[in-house]
Every structure is written in C-alpha cells, then in structure tokens.
Chains A and B, each alone.
Chain A
Amino acid sequence: MDEFRPLTAAEIEDWLDEELDAALSLRRTSRQAAISLSSLARDQQDFVRHWIAIVAKTNPELAFHFANHAADGLKRMAKDDAEAWIIQTMDVYDKMGLYPAIAALAAVEAFAAGRAERARAVALEEVGPVLELFLQALSGRPLRLERGARPFTDTTRLFLPASIAERPTREENLRLYKAMAAHLWAQTWFGTFPGSDPERLMNHCRSSRDPDYACELFHALETIRLDACLARELPGLYRELRALHNRPPPARAWQSWSARLEAADATVETTYEAAAALYGEPVPERRPYQGILDGGAVAVALAERMAQERAALQAALKKLLAGKASPPEGDDRRRFSAGKERSDRNEPTLLFDGERLTAPADVRALMQSIRQDLGEIPDEYLVPAGDGDYAPESPKKVEDVWKGTYHEDGAFLYNEWDYKRQHYRKEWCVLREVDVHPAEEPFVAETLRKYAGLSTRLRKTFEALRGENAVQRRQKHGDEVDFDALIQGFSDLRSGRELPDGLFLRHRRLARNIAVMFMVDMSGSTKGWINDAERESLVLLCEALEILGDRYAIYGFSGITRKRCEIYRVKRFDEPYNREVRARITGIKPQDYTRMGVAIRHLCGMLKGVEARTKLLVTLSDGKPDDYDGYRGEYGIEDTRQALLEAKRDGIHAFCITIDTDARDYLPHMYGAANYAQIDDVRKLPLKISDIYRHLTS
C-alpha cells in the first residue's frame, strides 16, 4: 500500500530537489532534510510536502529552511499547531523579510512552548479592539495602540506586548493587559510628561550619576502617585491592580514620601522632589503592570506633536476668522481666547471677542489635546495664522510617499486573502485615497449633446421609477373611505352577512432607499475607448441618478504593487453633483494595475457607514484582477472573491459590469451567477449602463 508507507529518504530527496531547486546548490543539498523527514509517519510527510510546496511559491529559500526544521516541528507539535507555526512564519516573512522568518522557523522550540502556553495566553490582536475603545472612552487624546516588545507610551502611541501569558489563567492575563493599558494611559492623563518641558525626564536621568537607576527610581515613585490617582478616579480598576500585585509595605525611608505622593494634590513635581530625596535608596519591586519609561521617545513625540498642534490650531482659527467681520480700525486686541476653567471633565471653551464660540469638533479635540499637555491653552497658541504662514498639518504628506522615504502614515492597511494558505496576509495592502485631478474640458457637455436622445429617454424612464404612488384598497385603516368596498360591504350587511373590515384606501409612497457605490477601473488597460466609454457612462448615470434621488458615490481604483494601492475620489456620498464632480469625471485617466480586493474592502467600508435599506456596489471593469506583484490568475480572483464575500456579510450587494469577453470564465465565481453583466461592445456601455442600473434597483 503505497499510500500509507512512509517515503524513504531517497524518495523525499528526489522530491525536494525538484521542489527546492532554486534554493539548492552543489554544496547545499536537501539530503539532511530528507533524512530527518523520512523518520515521520506518512500523513505527517504529506502534510510537510503540502506546505513545502506552498512556501516554495512564496520563497524557495524559506521553504528550504522549513524542510530542515519540519521534522523537529512535527515531533513537538500536532498538525494544527504546526500549521499555525508555518502561517506565523509566513506572516513574519511578509512583514519583515527572509531572515527574521528563518529565525522564526528556527525558534520552533519556543513556538511549541508558546502553543502550550496559548491556552492561557491572551494576544493583543484579540483584546486590542476592546482596549482601544476602553482607552478612548477614558477620555483624553486618542492613543494609538501598537505592538511593542515592552509596554510603554510616548504620549501619542501606546505600546503593549503582542501577547501576555505570564499569569496562570487567561482571565488574569486579560486583567494584566487592561491594567497595563490603563496605567500607561494614566501617565498621559495625570501629567507625568508635562508639555512645558518635553525633555525634562530625559535630562533628569542623564544628569544623574547612574541614569538607569535614576529612571527606575523616578518610575517607581511616579507609579505610586499614578496608582493613587487611579484609586481616586477609577476605584474598580484600582482593585484589579491590587489583585495583580501583592504589595509589600514600603521601606522605612519611603513611607513619608509614599504618603505625600498618594495625596490628592501631588503632581509630578512631588515625584521629582521625592526622586531627589530618595536617590541612593534601593528601588522596590516593580509593579507588574507599570511598563517602562522612555524619556527620549516621549521628548521626541511631545515636541513634534506640540509644534504640529500649535500650527494646526492657528490654521483652524484663521479659518474660523474668515467668516467674521473684521475688527474696528486700530483695535488690535487678540480676538480669540480660551475659557480659563480648569477641569478635566469639561471640554475647553473657545471665546471670540469675549463671546462663547461653538468650535468644530476637530478644533475642540485639538484644544483638549493641547490642554492635556500644557494644563491650559497658552495665549500665543490663540493667534490665528497670518496670510503667509503655512500650516504643516503633518510633515509627512500622503502625496509625498514616493518622493522621499517610504512611510505608511495616513494610509489604510488591509488584509489580503491568500488562497494557497487559506489565510489572510495581515495588513498586506497599503491604500491611499487621492483626488482625481479635475480637468476643465467640455467633455460633459459634449457627452450630453452626443447622447441627447438617449438622455431624454433615460430621464423619462427614471422619472417613472421615482417614488411610485400606490393606492392600496380594502385596508383596515387608511386615509380615505374605499367606497367600492363600502358599497359591497353594505350589500353583504343587508343580506345578513358581516360587514368586512377592510373599508379604507391607503396611499403608499414607495420611497427608494438606496445607496450605490460605483467603483471604476482606472487601470492602464482602460486607455482609449474604454476610458471614454467609462466616463460617458458616468455622466449619463449621474444625470439619471440625480432624477432618482438615490445616494451615490464614485471612486476610481488602481495601483501598482501592494504598497501602492490607490483609490481616486470622484464623488463622495455627501457631495452634490456639481461642476467640480463633472470636472473630476472628465479628469479620470488610466493609471496602473487592477488590484481589486483591497479597493472593494475600502469602498465597502465606506458604504457600510451609509444608512440605507439597499446598498449596492457596482464595479465597472475591463478585465481580471491583475497587479504587478503576483496578484494575478487564481490568486487575484480568489482574493477578490473573498473581499466580495466580506461585503456580502455586511449586507452589500455587489454587481459587476464588464467589457471583458472572457468574463464568463471567472466572474460567476467572484460575483455569483446572476450578479454581472457583460457588454460586448465598448461603445454600447453608456447605452446599457443606465438600463442595467434600472433593472438592478427596481
């Protein structure tokens, strides 16, 4: 029985030689791997071969290392866990590259131990979303939660370990996560890092004989103060902190300082005083949730943020000023001021010429954040930016990403489905939203002239579609008496039968409640005819949709490689169909490739936020998903299909209109058998598209 017999080393070696060809050489053979694998049972061997083949498609070198470690891995773990090990390795490869991935493979022992730990471990990935909401609700500046080797905060971001397993139960590990997050939040909220002197902690430590010790000492003292703050503000949380840590009574020398730090009026000044007084004393045991302090990182983040926020506030004030009457001649008083009440509970108030002003939400958030750093809004922050000043919103601009160093700020990250792995590649695609450059050409007017006949016909059919009035007869309740029913009812009554209860007319207006998102292929292959047809179709559609009153948005998509996916705004949901939108439709130009999955995910996210009974995603496309870095063939199709399945789960109907004559081969698989339309002749697209839309929505 060949199927059950374990393969011999020689057989495996042959197979490996073929599979791993690219990674092998004269001096580097697959012999060692083959020998180790020959000791496995046949089903394990098949499992390993299956994964070697998959990994080899990603990277042969990685597959070679996997082949060498696989036997060890399978001896330590069951297949489920081994699969998780491989997937994790590939994630590492995706994120950090080959060498870290090889290191992750080699760390199989640690991984196996980790799997055993997993029953009690809690991963940041699972608790992250809850912790993020928790932190946001605690108020203060939004803190971005990130994975880091050690828990600390730089006052903008909050780093927590990827997983916690040091406690014996899951429940306790969960508590520890929450405690860490809350404690780090407390550092930003109860003034550990005052904005008036961003470098204070750093300098304090550096000026000491032993900087590390100084930092430890300060941290221990500050933790005493913060815990007391938490005990006052969040007593329930404080009980949890105590439960995590059996605290020995403070050493003699610490006792009086401890009491002072715990008093309600203690500030970070008290901590600095205590640190000076207790210098040289042994530092007590660390509390498990206190994390670490990184004065350097705080100094950088704080300084950068404060400069940015000051400029942003001044720019916002300038904008607010634009709507106001100018002051009387010679009056150069400052016009803006901030309410002086100091209370963390209330939002800061903005005064204009002494009158209270309702500032937009983003300005209020800015003021809140500034006050959190500085305790108040300094007067110099409240001077509107001058005409010549430029306000750097962020030193890194979205558009500049490819000009200088690469960054992912301001971009959206999306997972991508890898059908071979049957798993998502995490945060694989980097997507940015950009505006279509509007073009001032008479394209729209020409299109309307060209299709004048069609557009009148469309107008009529769409008008008929608009909120049809229907009269429902024989209703129990209604606006008017249904005399037909009444007369019949009376004759029933006379002849001894009962009067029927449906005697009224009801007017019903069937209100349309549709939101539709048009996703337009802007890949390079649409150049020429197709692009023209797409733009013409959009013009006719917009005209028709304006009649119907359906809410709609138009976005183009294209990109090149996963690091550069782009979504082009043409019309947002809340934007009227105006001159600018028309100019943007005119400005739609072919770009690069067709990475569909990530575009669908992004646009569906937007569509999800719209309140409508029916939500529709209509794709205009000219071919298969296709991108430069392997996003083609089955891979692209499967990812697109997965993205569409996700959309369906969110109650979004997807429909595709294509001009690809081969569409029948793959579209039914992606969109479902009835959810696409194929148009043979590009020139008919503008004619057909409104018809298709009408059918779809009525």
Chain B
Amino acid sequence: MKPGAMRTEALLITKEPYYEPQGEEIALFEGAYRNKIPVLLKGPTGCGKTRFMEHMAWRLKRPLVTVSCHDDLTASDLVGRYLITAGDTVWIDGPLAHAVRLGGICYLDEIVEARKDTTVVIHPLADDRRVLPIEKTGEVLSAPGEFALAISYNPGYQSVLKDLKQSTRQRFIALEFDYPSADLERRIVDHESGVGDEIAAKLVRFAAMTRNLKGSGLEEGASTRLLVHAAKLMVSGIGARTACQGAIAQALTDDPEMLAAINELSASLF
C-alpha cells in the first residue's frame, strides 16, 4: 500500500450513529445526493453537523472523509502532493482527491477557516462538471456518481474575514442547523449520556440561559455537545454544579464576571 493512503474500510461507518432529525434535513440531503448537488451545512458549533454527516454516510453506505479546516490549510493539503522516497518522488493523494477516487463523501468542516484561495479548488467539483483537476500531475479526476461533497460553516462568527464567498456558497444546497428544540435536546442529552430525563431537562434549561447571554459577552451559548459532556460527568458521579462549571462555564469563557454569572445560574438551577 502506498504511504499515506487511507483504507476504504476504515472510512466506512458500520454502526448507526445516533441522530435525531430536527426537520427535513435527511430527506433534503438524500435528494441532493441523488441529484449530485453538494451540500452546505450552516449552524453554530456543537449543534450536530458532524454527527449528521456521519449519520448520512452510514445511511448512504459511503466512506466519509472529514477534513477539519484551519487557517493554514493549503490547496495541496486537500488535493495531494509529491513526497520524496529514496531516489524517487511519489504522488500522494490528499483527502479530497482520495474521496473523489473512492466515490465517498468528502466533508470539509468549518470551511471558512481555510485560506480563501483554498476554497476555490472545490469549485469545479461543486458544479455540474464534477471534476478535480490535479495541476501537478496533469490529471483530471472525474467524480463518480457516488461521490458527494459537503461543507460546513458557522454564520454566527459575524467576522468579515470569516465569510463565505458568494461564488462558493451559490453552488450548494444549504441546510440550516440550530440548537434543537428544548424537547428534542433533552432527548438527545439523555440518550447520549443516560443521565435521566429530569436532569437532562434542567441542563437544557441551563443551555437556554447561556444562549440568552450571546452577544453580551459570550460569543456562543452552550452547545448540545457541552450539555452532553456535563451530563456524562454527572453520570460518573460528579456533582451537578461542579460538572456544569467544568464542562460548560469554563468551556464557554475566561471572563471572571461571566464565569461568576454562569456559575450562579447553575447554582440556581440545581
């Protein structure tokens, strides 16, 4: 096997990932997949975008290649590059090219974090051409019908720097994610942690309180993920207030006043 190449089997998800639909997103994604249209997932952090992708990969029985984008991610990091072995250079596919060859699902998480020039390489893949030109080898990879591209971004940052270009976003079908409704979120927290209905409901109420603080010192309220963390801590015997402090308050902010306020809230609830 070539160095660096990933095994297809390892990318296949065999066990059903737990997912509670918020709306019609599963049908929409399947529709997009059948029509070979790429998908854009919008939503705040920790509301289930990545879990949704895992679930869809399992449903469609396709391997899932996830790339977490960062601000130093170059086009070569996605497409591939030459490596040097003893006396020779070898071409290694990047995750995107790999996913195209496999006919898998490529999921670029937090796409706006990547450098602007990087996002452009997905353009020919994201319209009806569905090709990935590899400049350095002169190859033009044509995506098989099973291939799908999905990207995610968080519109809540409200930073001029972290905005998606129109030329990129207008190639996608967009699915909007938000924190689930109180009822649903309670079910998710309970299912993921086994903490019980009552405490899950309190945690959800707590999350709603922190979401009220968004914009007055908090960039984001507590995500469903943080609630699950707190709930798991409680299940393993840690006191409710301590769990909230560690898993939620400290994870959200460093500001002492904000921490004090959030801790007062958890103390009021539990």
Contact = CB atoms under 8 A, between A and B. Distances in A.
Interface of A: 129-131, 133-134, 136-139, 178, 182, 234-237, 240, 345-346, 478-481, 486, 503, 507, 509, 511, 513, 551, 573-574, 611-612
B261 A130 contact: yes
B3 interface: no
Interface in B103-136: 115, 117, 136
Contacts of B216: 133, 136
A478 B269 CA distance: 52
A137 B222 CA distance: 12
A451 B102 CA distance: 59
Contacts of A513: 161
A665 to B, nearest CB: 40
Nearest to A481: B82
B262 to A, nearest CB: 8
A134 B264 contact: yes
Contacts of A138: 209, 212, 265
A130 B81 contact: no
Nearest to A182: B268
A478 B270 CA distance: 52
Interface string B149-161: 0000000010111
A91 B19 CA distance: 59
22 contacts: A133-B216, A133-B257, A133-B258, A137-B210, A137-B212, A137-B261, A137-B262, A178-B264, A182-B268, A234-B268, A236-B267, A236-B270, A237-B267, A240-B267, A478-B81, A479-B74, A479-B75, A480-B81, A481-B82, A507-B74, A509-B115, A509-B117
Given A345-B208, A480-B136, 11 more contacts: A129-B257, A136-B213, A137-B261, A138-B209, A236-B268, A346-B182, A479-B75, A481-B89, A509-B115, A573-B160, A574-B160
Interface in B214-245: 216-217, 241
Contacts of A236: 241, 266-270
Contact of B261 (A134, A480, A486, A574): A134
B269 A611 contact: no
A670 B76 CA distance: 49
Contacts of A486: 84
Interface in B179-219: 181-182, 205, 208-210, 212-213, 216-217
Contacts of B213: 133, 136-137
B212 to A, nearest CB: 5
B81 A137 contact: no
A346 B181 contact: yes
Chain B residues touching A, range: 35 or more
Nearest to A140: B212
Contacts of B262: 133, 137
- In the A-B complex, the 4 residue pairs with the closest CB atoms: A133-B261, A237-B268, A137-B209, A479-B76
Contact of A503 (B84, B210, B241, B265): B84
A573 B158 CA distance: 12
Contact of B212 (A136, A503, A551): A136
Contacts of B75: 479
Contact of B182 (A130, A131, A345, A507): A345
Nearest to B202: A235
A167 to B, nearest CB: 17
A124 to B, nearest CB: 14
A139 B267 CA distance: 16
A479 B217 CA distance: 40
Nearest to A549: B160
A468 to B, nearest CB: 14
A504 B71 CA distance: 20
A131 B210 CA distance: 14
A236 B209 CA distance: 15
B224 to A, nearest CB: 16
A474 to B, nearest CB: 13
B217 A133 contact: yes
Nearest to B217: A133
Contacts of B268: 182, 234, 236-237, 240
B60 interface: no
By CB atoms of chain A within 10 A, which of B74, B82, B213, B268 has the most? B268
Interface in B40-75: 74-75
Given A130-B261, A130-B264, A346-B182, A235 B209 contact: no
A551 B160 contact: yes
Contacts of A503: 84
B260 interface: yes
A130 B267 contact: no
Nearest to B209: A137
Contacts of A346: 181-182
Contacts of A237: 267-269
A383 B182 CA distance: 30
